[in-house]
Structure formats: C-alpha cells, structure tokens
Chains A and B, each alone.
Chain A
Amino acid sequence: MRFILTAAVWAVILALVSFVFSIRGMESGPIDKEVKEKHAEVSFEITATFSVEDDPFALNIGDKKSAFELVLDGQTVFSAEKGINDRVSFTTESFELSTGKHELFVKANPSDTRISQAVRVQVLLSGNPISSETYWFNPGQAVNAAHVFEVTEKGSQNEH
C-alpha cells in the first residue's frame, strides 16, 4: 500500500513538472524559431598573390586534390585546379548563412616557393564588404587560412 502511494505521488510530481516545461516551451518556441530563421546572403571575394597551376610537389597518385579550395563551415564550397590568377580578385556565389559565427577556410598550394604568399579574404553581405583580412605565408609554406567571422542582424564582424 505504501509503495503504491509513493508511486502515485511521484507520478503527480512528474506530471506537474512536464506540464510546466511544456507551457514554457510553447512560450519560447516561436522566439527561437524566429532567431533561427534570420539568414544573410554572404559571398566571399578572394585575392591571392599566386596563380593556381600544377604543383611540382603534389603526389600524382589516385585522387587528385584541388590546388585551391574554400571550405565554409566544414563544407567545400569552391575548388579549382587552375584558372586563378595572381592578384586578380574573384567572388564566389552567395551562400545563405544564419546569424552567428562562421568559418571560411582557405587551402592552397602555391607552386612558386621563392617568395612569401598572401591571400585576402573579404566577406560580402549582399555585395557590400563587411569584413576583410589578409593572411601571409612564408616561402614554401602551404596556404591554410581560417577566416572566422560573425554574421549579425546588422552585418558581419571579424573574429580572430
């Protein structure tokens, strides 16, 4: 009898707690949804001091890796084996990004190892530059640049 009474009390307590949480969830639900639905049209303007061409230090076995790659939040969004010219800017297509922090990772293997190399990343929000950074690399060093930026309702900010 005592066991049944204890179980009944616990059942009532759990029911009350879940009821309270469900009411609070209903209240906050639409607000969260509204925040998540905030998106921005973001594109990237890239300028490199090197051309992308065949790399004499590449491994020519099996899958050929791109000489130039842009990875946005872990997803490859642009890659090229050639066709990128030194000091000639190009702009990617637009990506719909939610508000919050994002990362654009630039990977490249400049074939000219005689000089220092640089790559400039500009984040464009609806075509307007809102964040910019130039990354420098020593002669022979592979280009690996992580550009972290934040998309806010007002625009974007660099995060270093």
Chain B
Amino acid sequence: MFNYKALILTCLLMTVSVCSAEITVAVSTTQIYNLTYNIAGDDAKVLSILAPGQDPHTYQPVTKDIETVQNADVIIENGLHLEGKNWMKTLAEDAGKPLITATDGIIPLIMDKDGTKVNDPHAWFTPRNAAVYVNNIAKALVKHDPDNRASYISRAKLLLASLKSLDGWIRSEVSVIPPEKRVLVTNHDAFQYFATEYGFINTAPIGCSTGSEVGGGVTPQRREMVVNSIREMNVRSIFFETTINPKLIREIAKDAGISIGGSLYSDSMGDSGTPGETYIGMMRENVIKIVRGLK
C-alpha cells in the first residue's frame, strides 16, 4: 500500500531543506577562514583546507581537500603565491570552479627570494590589508548568495569597524617602543607588511618561504648576517613563529646573546580555544608580545 504519510513528510523535509539551503565556502588558510566566518555567520558554511598550525607554503592537498573544493559554491585563496605551487588554484581549476583571490587590490610589497624579486604574500598582517580581504570576501558572498546580502553587509561593516579600531590600537601600543628599538627578528620574512605599516625594521634568517621548494632554509652567511645585525642594532629580543621549529631562532638568540620574546602567530592562526583562533586575537597577542619584548 502506498504510504501517503511518508510521501508528505518527505516533501515537507525537502521544502525545509531547500528553504534553509546555505552556500558552502572553501578557503585555503586559517586567516581567510576567520574573516570569512565573521562575514558568513549562520548564512553560509565555511570550510578551511588548512588546519591551525599547518604551513601554507609547504602544504600538499589530500583527497578530502579535492572533495571540499568540488562541493563548494565559493572558493577563496590568499594569492600572491602564499599557497606553495599554487595548490588552491590547482584545486579550483581541477573542480572547474572560479577562484576568488582575497589579496586582489592590495599593493604587494616586494621581497627577495634567492636573488629574485617576488611579491610578499603575507599581506594580512595589517588591518588595512585585512579590510581589502573583507571587501573581496563580502563581494563574493553577496554575489553567490544575494538573498542574504543585507546580513553579509551588516557583518562585514562590523568587522571593518573592528579592524579600524585594531589599527588604531596597534599604533598606540607600538608607540611605547622607541623608534631605534623597533627591530623585529623572526624565523622568516612574514612580518614585512606589519613592519612597514608600523615603523619596524624586519629581518629574518629564512627567506620568504618556509619550504625547500622556494629555496628556503638558512645559509651560514645569512645566519651570520642576522646575528651581526642583531648586535649592531642592539636588539633586545627576537621571536619565533608558531608554525616553524624554534630551534634555529634559539641558536641565533644564543649566538647574539639576547632573549627570546616568545612565539608569534604567522602563517597560521591558533588552535580553537587559544587567543590566536581569531584574526583580531592573533594580531592582539602578536603586538602584546612584540611590545613586551622590545620596549
């Protein structure tokens, strides 16, 4: 006998699922995840390819990532070759889907990579650049899900106001470090945008990438150069980054006879439940450690 009740129930459930259908957004890094999550709210599902602590320069996609990108409505990468060998672009191309680049519109800083000038991909390290990310992400969400346009715009405005406030706060905090002491030494050149925006000199023993694929790794000459510059500039503390083995920076600190200022969030944000799990928390903790170590 035909079960009418089951048919009606199925129809109702289908109606409910169609009404509450949310778009899925796949993003490459944890920073983009957090910014997107803050704009998407309850109206979209956001999935990050990288987990906290994973390195975008060296990451190699797995089968699950292919499925994530194939099932996504919106795909967002950092760009500027942060994703080593352009792995997010490859995933999007393989899935036959358009790719949004969060750094579109940012004027990139140039850095030296094995004697070649390349664009610095670590653009999110200033709230001003993060505002460009927010604009690009919000535009993508509004375009793919116009029904929730007002909610995306509302959340994006709140996030931009928070970024503006963060920018003012950082300027106020770093102002207590005398200009001659604003020398930021970290594992690799991730902090060039931050340093340029807030008046620091940035130096690192490793080049722009942490991976061997772009010739990363410290040479004895570079290490000696860093130790010498630390001594010449009378640097008080140096920092290691959460995604990179601190062994090298400890050796450099020992050679230069200075202290370690702590770990900074760089290419990845913190685990869930840590202060660095949000963009603003990550920036706040970095600034507090830098100010404490250098003032």
Contacts and interface: CB of A to CB of B under 8 A. Distances in A.
Nearest to A65: B157
Contact of B168 (A58, A60, A61, A114): A114
Chain B contact residues, majority secondary structure: helix
Interface string B205-228: 000000000000000000000000
Interface string A50-82: 000000111111100000000000000000000
Given A56-B128, A140-B166, A62 B171 contact: no
A100 interface: no
Contacts of A59: 134-135, 138, 153, 156-157, 160
A62 B160 contact: no
Given A57-B161, A59-B160, A62-B153, A139 B168 contact: yes
Interface in A98-119: 109, 113-114
Interface string B145-179: 00001000100110011011111110110000000
B161 A142 contact: yes
B135 A114 contact: no
Contacts of A114: 168, 171
Contacts of B172: 138-139
Interface residues of A, number: 15
B131 interface: yes
Is the contact region of chain A dominated by helix, strand, or loop, or is it mixed? loop
Contacts of B131: 56-57
A141 interface: yes
Interface residues of B, number: 23
A140 B169 contact: yes
Contacts of A58: 160
B165 A61 contact: no
Interface string B110-147: 00000000000000000110010011001100100000
A57 B156 CA distance: 10
A140 B167 contact: yes
A61 B148 CA distance: 14
Contact of B139 (A56, A57, A61, A113): A61
Interface of A: 56-62, 109, 113-114, 138-142
Interface of B: 127-128, 131, 134-135, 138-139, 142, 149, 153, 156-157, 160-161, 163-169, 171-172
6 tightest A-B CB contacts, nearest first = A140-B168, A139-B168, A57-B164, A113-B168, A140-B165, A113-B167
Given A57-B131, A59-B157, A109-B164, 18 more contacts: A56-B131, A57-B127, A57-B128, A57-B161, A57-B163, A58-B160, A59-B135, A59-B153, A61-B135, A61-B156, A62-B149, A138-B172, A140-B164, A140-B165, A140-B168, A140-B169, A140-B171, A142-B161
